[in-house]
Amino acid sequence: MSTPTPIEFWYDFGSNYSYLAVMRIEALATAHGVPVVWRPFLLGPIFKSFGWDNSPFVLQKEKGEYVWKDMVREGAKYGLPFRRPTTFPRTAVQATRVALLGSQASWGAEFSRRIMLLNFALDQDIGNDALVGAVLKDMGLPHEALMAAARADEVKVRLRDQVAHAHRIGIFGAPTCFVGTEMFWGNDRLDDAVKFAAGR
């Protein structure tokens, strides 16, 4: 039997299809014995590099209208709660920095799921730092220390590097999975990515 390759999982807290994948990946990867490397990042700077000042779901009206109908069906398909956010896309810089810290700890996946649920099931402003701190507190984590650590210059630089890395490897949307150099874009390819990682 071959050893599973880890799956690098790139996601943005404002991205609705990232929401579906963040909620699904851990169970799916565990079932296939595939380790997940969580890679929170920001899509905004990537879109800017394409000359876009917003999500393509906002810029392209026809696709944007469709996406929210699709999300209702997709939520039902995966048994996930969904409410269309009244603000879209939400930018959550502090939450992303915290997730970056969490990505090397045991609590990162659960923190990411909670932030996603706040945005896409409860329509809360995940760009609000108080809300991010409350999530950490609710998880029984040293919330004040983590919030302060996430604001350190070192973490700011790490997030910028993470985004630059995403750009360099050709990421143009989220969620995106990498298994070695093989790219899988979208929640629609999450199962394929996990199977590919398991089968190598």
Nearer to its own copies, 127 or 173 (CB): 173
Q: Work out whether the CA dihedral 152, 140, 162, 119 comes out positive or negative.
A: negative
- As measured in angstroms, the least distance from the Cβ of 103 to its own copies is 24
- Rounded to 5°, angle at Cα 199 from 194 and 200: 110
Kindly determine how many residues on this chain lie close enough to bind its own copies according to the rule CB under 8 A.
Answer: 21
- Give the residue among 71, 69, 89, 66 at the shortest CA–CA distance from 15: 89
CA 169 to mean position of chain CA atoms: 17
Nearer to its own copies, 151 or 165 (CB): 165
Helices marked H in the chain: 16-31, 44-49, 56-59, 61-78, 93-102, 108-120, 129-138, 143-150, 153-168, 190-199
Contact characters 150-189, its own copies, x per CB under 8 A = --------------------xxxx--------xx-xx-xx
Contact characters 90-109, its own copies, x per CB under 8 A = --------------------
- As measured in angstroms, the least distance from the Cβ of 63 to its own copies is 5
Mapping DSSP to helix (H, G, I), strand (E, B) and coil, where does residue 176 land?
strand
- As measured in angstroms, the least distance from the Cβ of 188 to its own copies is 5
**Distance separating alpha carbons of residues 25 and 29, to the nearest angstrom:** 6
* Subset of residues 46 to 85 that bind its own copies, contact rule: CB under 8 A: 50, 60, 62-63, 65-66, 69-70, 73, 77
Interface residues with its own copies (CB under 8 A) are 50, 60, 62-63, 65-66, 69-70, 73, 77, 170-173, 182-183, 185-186, 188-189, 192
